Structure 1
Amino acid sequence: MNFKIDKFILAIATTVFLAYLFPQLGSKSSPLNLDLIASLGISLIFFFYGLKLSPEKIKTGLKNWKLHLLVQASTFILFPLIVLLFLPLVHSEHNKNIWLAFFFLASLPSTVSSSVVMVSIAKGNIPAAIFNASISGLIGIAITPLWMGIFLNSSNSNFDLREIYIKLITEVLLPVILGLLLHRYLGKLATRYNNYLSTFDKSVILLIIYKSFATSFDEKVFNALEVSNLVVISMSVIILFYLAYFITGIISDKLGFNLEDKITAQFCGTKKSLVHGTIFSKILFQNATTLGIVLLPIMLFHGFQIFIISILANKLSNPVK
């Protein structure tokens, strides 16, 4: 079986390398206002996201409520609970920052495009995948800040949940609502140019990643991160994925799901959105110099989930007889 390296993963690696070589362009003293550009880009991403959302499909998708409940519970409850189990093992401030980065990963919504594509390849329940992947991003606007607020309130005196929600409403929710309102007029146009919009989305994400890592490199944040830390982070990402994948599968069997619904539950319930991760990190952590470390687990998870889910999807699409 042949696997191609995802071009976006290569682009992320290149962006991080450029941030290492030229951190001054993304530093606080940079003449370029990358924060403003990124904020405008974020609003446009979610406006186009709203344009592509079909209210009719969302209404239709509400019927299979057990499946939807499992996917969202896995995304917003199971993942955070798994990471919370390891909090008692965290003692130093450095390790707490790494744990917080994992908890941020755990509290994020599911990704949209790759979830639907992989479910389609694996011959799962495609309408349910579209519904869950779409609704997850909207739920995340409310849930992710609540989860993060539990720990950021105690560790960051500048954390203001009201301010966070105001930013999320203005930069994320209002553009989505505007897009939804214009769906009937511009929805087909957005679908037709979906590839271009996807390229735009990825460009904004790369810009935020560059800014985050450039700031961290400029402030020498990664000097405290040893090779052993990177190994532990990478292994933890893999363990976290498999724990969620197998637990979701066990619950699917207990609920009596057919194979199509089980595939959808496991594929959608174990995905985490890099798009939302980069955007939410910019809002939740604002100008924190540790933003590069915050994004490290979600970037590794993004690469791993695409790799392993593509393998699983291909196996399920061609079962051994």
Structure 2
Amino acid sequence: MSISSRFSAQVRGVDPLIVLIILAVVIAILAPARGEFAEWFATATNIAIALLFFLYGLRLSTREALSGLTHWKLHLMILGFTFVAYPIVGVALKPVLSPFISEELYAGILLLTLVPSTVQSSVAFTSIARGNVSGAIVAASASSLVGVFATPLLVMLLMGAGDGVRIDMKVFLDISVLLLLPFVLGQILRRWLAKLAANKATKIVDRGSIAMVVYSAFSSGMVAGVWSSVGFWEVVFLVVFSVVLVAFMLWLTRFVSEKLGFPRRDVIAIEFCGSKKSLATGLPMASVIFGGASLGLLILPLMIYHQIQLMICSWLAARYGKQAPEQLAVA
């Protein structure tokens, strides 16, 4: 096989989602969204996310949706990893990391372990991997709702934010309008519009919405000048650390859920929902909790971790999807 043929084969084997994520980061570095364009793009991103959950509502039968809602063991597992296991890991890392990084950087790492799980990308990856999508939608949404209370309380307990912590109840309304309402609307219209949610259409919206979230979030960090306050080797450290932590949490969520006897589709949902942390939710929460103070290094670990987890999980989801028996695909 010639060099060009081998290169072409390697290119064909690359998951398109990873390419989209990398392109989104590069474009955000070179041309971050600013001013009115940033506001317009944020609105477009929200529309794409709402469309994604509308398509999920069209794809899932009402029986599957109700099954996801009542699967309390699955939800408790994901919440346990998100708000118990992750914070324990964050606290346990302090004596290990303190000799190598500053207190500010460690505080950012601890913060990333306290924020909720992602919703949109967790569900998207669960769908790509042919896992329990209905359970993932409910569990990941519940994580964001619980996080409104759990994250500030954990910050108060573990980071000593004290009286500066405030809880913004608007998060409930945002989640309901952006995620749950489109899903319910899709369920209502499923009888007539189910064909719109063909696998190809959903996959395009899956990947496109994730890329839009990455570009929007990374642009915010670029405009805020986060990168100017950190050195090159600190960035390298955070990248390596993020790879290790993502790999460990993916292994832990899968190992524990398999040992407890969860079926394959549930294991996939637990793995992708319980191992991830949300940049889209974490950044606004950090602003509210810390009262508008300069976030700087505090949000940098979460920014880097978010991109690493998306790239690793996109590869893993595609791998699981190819391995799954055809009958396990979501109808």
The TM-score with structure 2 as length reference comes to 0.69
Partner Cα separation in structure 2 for residue 252 and residue 233 of structure 1: 28
Identity %: 18
What is aligned with 1:107?
A: 117
Aligned pairs (5 A) from 1:251-290: 251-252=256-257, 255=260, 257=261, 261=262, 263-264=264-265, 266-272=267-273, 277=278, 279-281=280-282, 284=285
Match of 1:34 among 41, 54, 71: 41
Match of 1:182 among 177, 185, 189: 189
**SS across alignment from 2:122:** coil
Partner Cα separation in structure 1 for residue 61 and residue 109 of structure 2: 38
Match of 1:162 among 169, 176, 182: 169
Match of 1:97 among 96, 108, 116: 108
Equivalent residues, number: 300
1:147 aligns with 2:156: no
5+ residue gaps, structure 1: 121-125
Partner Cα separation in structure 1 for residue 77 and residue 248 of structure 2: 15
Which one-letter code corresponds to 2:151 in the other structure? Answer: M
Distance 1:241 1:263, change over 3 A: farther
Once structures 1 and 2 are overlaid, which stretch shifts more, 228-237 or 218-227? 228-237
Contact 1:16 1:209 in 2 (8 A): yes
Residue 297 of structure 1: how far off its partner (Å): 0.7
**SS across alignment from 1:33:** helix
Partner Cα separation in structure 2 for residue 181 and residue 170 of structure 1: 16
Partner Cα separation in structure 1 for residue 182 and residue 103 of structure 2: 40
Distance 1:285 1:52, change over 3 A: farther
**SS across alignment from 1:108:** coil
**Superimposed CA distance per residue, residues 193-241 of structure 1 (whole angstroms, 9 cap, x where no aligned partner):** x422432343343333323322322332112233333333233333334
Match of 1:231 among 215, 228, 236: 236
Contact 1:168 1:283 in 2 (8 A): no
Distance 1:311 1:195, change over 3 A: closer
Residue 175 of structure 1: how far off its partner (Å): 2.4
What is aligned with 1:133?
A: 136
**Superimposed CA distance per residue, residues 147-187 of structure 1 (whole angstroms, 9 cap, x where no aligned partner):** 3333567389585421222222232232222222223332x
Q: Over aligned residue pairs, what C-alpha RMSD do you find?
A: 4.2
Match of 1:172 among 168, 179, 191: 179
**SS across alignment from 1:271:** helix
**SS across alignment from 1:184:** helix
5+ residue gaps, structure 2: 1-8, 326-331
What is aligned with 1:208?
A: 213
Distance 1:56 1:101, change over 3 A: same
What is aligned with 1:220?
A: 225
Which one-letter code corresponds to 1:107 in the other structure? Answer: S
Once structures 1 and 2 are overlaid, which stretch shifts more, 153-162 or 229-238? 153-162
**SS across alignment from 1:107:** coil
Once structures 1 and 2 are overlaid, which stretch shifts more, 146-155 or 95-104? 146-155
Partner Cα separation in structure 2 for residue 311 and residue 39 of structure 1: 28
Partner Cα separation in structure 2 for residue 179 and residue 314 of structure 1: 27
The TM-score with structure 1 as length reference comes to 0.71
What is aligned with 1:9?
A: 18
Partner Cα separation in structure 1 for residue 69 and residue 49 of structure 2: 28
Partner Cα separation in structure 1 for residue 324 and residue 201 of structure 2: 30
Residue 308 of structure 1: how far off its partner (Å): 5.1
Once structures 1 and 2 are overlaid, which stretch shifts more, 135-144 or 90-99? 90-99
**Superimposed CA distance per residue, residues 116-139 of structure 1 (whole angstroms, 9 cap, x where no aligned partner):** 544x5xxxxx6xx34433432332
Contact 2:118 2:276 in 1 (8 A): no
**SS across alignment from 2:55:** helix
Which one-letter code corresponds to 1:230 in the other structure? Answer: V
Distance 1:51 1:303, change over 3 A: same
Contact 1:27 1:211 in 2 (8 A): no
Which one-letter code corresponds to 2:207 in the other structure? Answer: K
Contact 1:234 1:297 in 2 (8 A): yes
What is aligned with 2:197?
A: 191
